[in-house]
Amino acid sequence: MDQYQLCIIKIKQLHIYQRTPMKIIATHLFNDYSGSPKVLMQLLKGWNKHGITTQLYTCAGREGFLSDLPDVKYSFFNYRFAANPVIRFVNLMVSQIILCVKILKNTENTDIIYVNTVLPFGAAVAGKLKGNRVIYHIHETSMKPAILKSFLFGIVEWCATDIVYVSNYLADQESFSNKKMHVLHNAIENEFLSKAEADAIEKEGLSNVLMVCSLKTYKGINEFVQLSNCLPHHNFRLVLNANKNEIADYFKKVKLPENLEIFETQSNVHPFYKWADVVLNLSKPNEWVETFGLTIIEGMAYGNPAIVPPVGGVTEVIENGVNGFTLDSDDIVEIANKIGVWTSNDNYFKSFRKSARSAVAQYNEDRFILKNIQILETK
């Protein structure tokens, strides 16, 4: 009997003997189509499926993975992202004061406060003041300016009872004393995996290169453009978590090659992964360290090997030389060479495809939910 089966048995036993109902107050600052709200969406659905009452506090007026979830009670606070860092900081502080007051007024001290990312710290402060159990789900380590990171992680140190990390790398980088610490790798949605399996086709060769990321320079966007120039006989697609105006403004002084297509925010990325032959993550570790890499396992569900940075939690997903390569995004020549080797040797590339599909099994959503509930039940 493996650990997964034991976990299922333990959870079933806990539900049989559970004496009091559980309620989770989940909080997330900025609802969009990026990785961290997607993880919280999976948890909210899983908690509800297992009979746990949920309430979500998030910003108003945004569409994203946290929108319109069934059986979730919503409470909103105002937060608007601003390009100006001073205005953005003021907006953050005001929003968290409002969030703190709302939670102080509307929750019981028996509720579990679940803080997704370190940003909605107002919820953690409220939980600390009321004596709630405060669980942080930490996705990030790279944050600027340094004083903001020190402040936010200082709140974690003061308020958290438990900390959930998305990778072993992150747990090592951001460890805290006298806290219950748990590593819980992200998972691929069951629905996503079923769709990927249904859409599976036998591909020949390597023609199409995909990257899905935020519109940030440190995500390696400029390097992706350079790479598309280096490989004119390959097709490149860049899917950005941004609108058309933001994209146009970013690239207004850049001459884009004809083999590169750029897309705005997509609520459905399946067609892109189906189109792709390889998925890239070109984040620059000296500016931004990837703590996991959800888009990479989504790509692997379609049998797409990946090239990722050699640092961070993403190296726990990609085994160098097996289901992809770990390369520095500054080394465009070497990345182009690896893609060239894959392109010229189809049997070699197919072995990477097979390994990519096989690796996805360890990121099972049901296992992810059950492990999370086990954390909730362990006091």
On the question of pLDDT at 291 being above 50, the answer is yes
Kindly list the domain boundaries of the chain, sorted by start residue. 3-187+364-377, 190-362
Is the CATH code 3.40.50.2000 the one for domain 3-187+364-377? yes
pLDDT single digits (tens) 85-127: 999 999 999 999 999 999 999 999 999 999 999 999 999 999 9
Architecture of domain 190-362: 3-Layer(aba) Sandwich (3.40)
HEC readout, the chain: CCHHHHHHHHHHHHHHHCCCCCEEEEECCCCCCCHHHHHHHHHHHHHHHCCCEEEEEEECCCCCCCCCCCCCEEEEECCCCCCCHHHHHHHHHHHHHHHHHHHHHHCCCCCEEEEECCCCHHHHHHHHHHCCEEEEEECCCCCCCHHHHHHHHHHHHHHCCEEEECCHHHHHHCCCCCCEEEECCCCECHHHHHHHHHCCCCCCCCCEEEEEEECCHHHCHHHHHHHHHHCCCCEEEEEEECCHHHHHHHCCCCCCCCCEEEECCCCCCHHHHHHCCEEECCCCCCCCCCCCCHHHHHHHHCCCCEEECCCCHHHHCCCECCCEEECCCCCHHHHHHHHHHHHHCHHHHHHHHHHHHHHHHHHEHHHHHHHHHHHHHCC
Q: pTM above 0.85?
A: yes
pLDDT single digits (tens) 28-60: 999 999 999 999 999 999 999 999 999 999 999
**Structure confidence at residue 17 as a pLDDT band (50, 70, 90):** very low
Domains 3-187+364-377 and 190-362 share a fold: yes
